[in-house]
Amino acid sequence: MTVYLVGAGPGDPGLITVRGAEVLGRADVVVYDRLVDPSLLDLAPADAERVYAGKAPGAPEMDQAEINALLVDRARAGGNVVRLKGGDPFVFGRGGEEAEALAATGVPFEVVPGITSAIGAPAYAGIPVTHRGASTHFTVVTGHEDPAKGSADVDWSALARTGGTLVILMGAGRVGEIASRLVEGGLAPDTPVAAVRNGTRPDQETVRATLATVADAGVQAPAAIVVGDVAALDLTWFESRPLFGRSVVVTRAREQASELRNRLEVLGAEVLELPAIAIEPIEFDVPQLDRYGWVVFTSANGVTAFFEHGLASGDLDARALAGRTRAMCSPPACPSAATKSKCWLSTEPSPRRRIRRQSNVCAAAKSTRSRSPRRRRSRTSATCSGRYRRRSRSLRRSGPSRRRRQRSAACASTSRPPSTRSTGSSTRYCAHFPPPAAPEPFPTDAAAHAGGAGGVGGGVVPASIPMSWSASQALPSP
């Protein structure tokens, strides 16, 4: 039984420490605050107890004494308890009071530091708390003291004389009064002030003002207020991302939404996962594949279903696709693109030799555009058959027009693939590498088809299927 006082950081879930994520992953009970990002709770086991102990201004869910008692009780029950707190537990997080309660009752505990909002929020607003020539030190102070004490511990006049950067936490409700006392202490009324609300979160907002105008600037909690010359620096990076301030709903299946979510969050969007579909495997019998010429997958889910729930259930593997069976997701833009597609499978005889041949064809098509006419002619001669090379030697002393006629007779001409074709032009291929032939037609009785949103189905495919892509792009038949 151990209680972990974990700092969750200022708001961005990616700022939690490795140690913090580790102890969350084996927690039995998680007691979390109001400012903790909800996604961090997903790091805890699904069966872990989650207890909300947030403290909204003026309306706490439970007071500090109740939280202390809860930590002791859950720890004595014999589990690992994680007290998840925003920022750092020992920087205005009342983690010291909780540690005192645990120590007094003999409950072992561990403190996992976190990134305090006094540093994290200004950094996400592009404000360094120290800067050469502007500030060599900074002071962190609370703007909300315990009213039960009857006296104030913060000497604002002394802080005004200290200089450097002043970072005020929990002071949004008293920002006007604090600014007046700092001016009375000696700071100039035009001293720059920046208030960062919801720092490091997708809805972060930065308000810039001076000590004379900050009272009317509309500063709202929760905010980290920076006072000093560094507040005039505007090194904005977080709020300038292209999707900052936008909310995006992702309706993909939960197990497939993480990659898209990460990409959207990198662009600054706030992502809400609302799965509208669920991918569930179905059992099916794989037909006799030797009766078909093609197996077509229309999605990654279809590939997974075919191999894991089709072939595997019949004690088969990829060798069942041997022979003349082909599998692809979509026709490639260039013959050599088959070597780059993860979904393109070909188990015909000598696939490496065929793919290499098509790669050379595409390389030849690309090279004809970049080389000069003289060099292109010499390269074409070098790739032709040995018989043609011997004949070309005898023509070296002839005029260039005769050599071009000889080359035209020895090399086949075909249209460029759409990816390299220009209007009114064509690409010549050497006889050693002829243009790829069209694939054999689909069988007229049936074709195996796998795809959809995770399932595999079958259907009859007519022998003549209209295609918008050139036959020269297809994988040639053996």
Q: What is the pLDDT of residue 106?
A: 95
pLDDT band at 311 (very low <50, low <70, confident <90, very high): confident
Which of 212-221, 253-262, 380-389 shows the lowest mean pLDDT across its residues? Answer: 380-389
Q: What is the pLDDT of residue 357?
A: 44
Q: Is the pLDDT of residue 465 over 90?
A: no
Rounded average pLDDT over 281-297: 78
pLDDT band at 404 (very low <50, low <70, confident <90, very high): low
pLDDT band at 460 (very low <50, low <70, confident <90, very high): very low
Q: pLDDT of 138-160, one tens digit each? A: 999 999 876 666 556 789 999 99
pLDDT band at 442 (very low <50, low <70, confident <90, very high): very low
Q: What is the pLDDT of residue 123?
A: 97
Of 10-24, 297-311, 461-475, the range with the highest mean pLDDT is 10-24
Partners of 4 in the β-ladder = 82, 110
Residue 403: enclosing H or E segment and its boundaries?
helix 400-410
Q: Amino acid identity, residue 446? A: A
Percentage of the chain exceeding pLDDT 70: 65
Using DSSP, state whether 412 is helix, strand or coil: strand
Q: What is the pLDDT of residue 396?
A: 52
Q: pLDDT of 87-121, one tens digit each? A: 999 999 899 999 999 999 999 999 999 999 999 99
Tokens for 317, please give them: 């593997």
Q: What is the pLDDT of residue 253?
A: 84
Rounded average pLDDT over 214-236: 94
In the chain, what are the domains? Answer: 2-115 (3.40.1010.10), 119-232 (3.30.950.10), 247-278 (no CATH), 289-443+451-459 (no CATH)
- Provide the 10 A C-beta neighbour count for residue 76: 13
Catalytic residue among 55, 62, 229, 366: 55
Which of 92-101, 199-208, 230-239, 368-377 shows the lowest mean pLDDT across its residues? Answer: 368-377
Q: pLDDT of 171-201, one tens digit each? A: 999 999 999 999 999 999 999 999 999 999 9
Nearest to 116 by CA among 214, 200, 204, 239: 200
Write the burial class of residue 323 (CB in 10 Å: 0-12 exposed, 13-18 middle, 19+ buried): middle
Catalytic residue among 28, 33, 37, 88: 33
**Is 55 considered catalytic here?**
yes
- Provide the 10 A C-beta neighbour count for residue 82: 29
Q: Is the pLDDT of residue 347 over 80?
A: no
**Is 342 considered catalytic here?**
no
Of 221-225, 250-254, 326-330, 379-383, the range with the highest mean pLDDT is 221-225
Q: Is the pLDDT of residue 269 over 80?
A: yes
Q: Which residue has the higher pLDDT, 295 or 235?
A: 235
Asked if 204 and 198 touch (Cβ cutoff 8 Å), the reply is yes
Q: Which residue has the higher pLDDT, 207 or 402?
A: 207
Edge-to-edge strand ranges of the sheet holding 80-85: 49-52, 29-32, 80-85, 2-7, 109-112
How far apart CA 88 and CA 2 sit, in angstroms, is 19
Question: What is the CA angle 444-446-447, rounded to 5?
Answer: 110
How far apart CA 413 and CA 377 sit, in angstroms, is 14
pLDDT band at 322 (very low <50, low <70, confident <90, very high): confident
Q: What is the pLDDT of residue 239?
A: 95
Q: pLDDT of 6-18, one tens digit each? A: 999 999 999 999 9
Q: What are the backbone dihedrals phi and psi of residue 195, each rounded to the nearest 5 degrees, phi first?
A: -110, 120
How far apart CA 31 and CA 71 sit, in angstroms, is 8
Q: Is the pLDDT of residue 446 over 50?
A: no
Q: Is the pLDDT of residue 402 over 70?
A: no
Average pLDDT, rounded, for the chain: 75
Rounded average pLDDT over 278-289: 79
Q: What is the pLDDT of residue 257?
A: 82
Rounded average pLDDT over 238-244: 95
Q: Which residues of 216-238 are buried (b: 16+ CB within 10 A; e: fewer)?
A: ebebebbbbbbbbebbebeeeeb
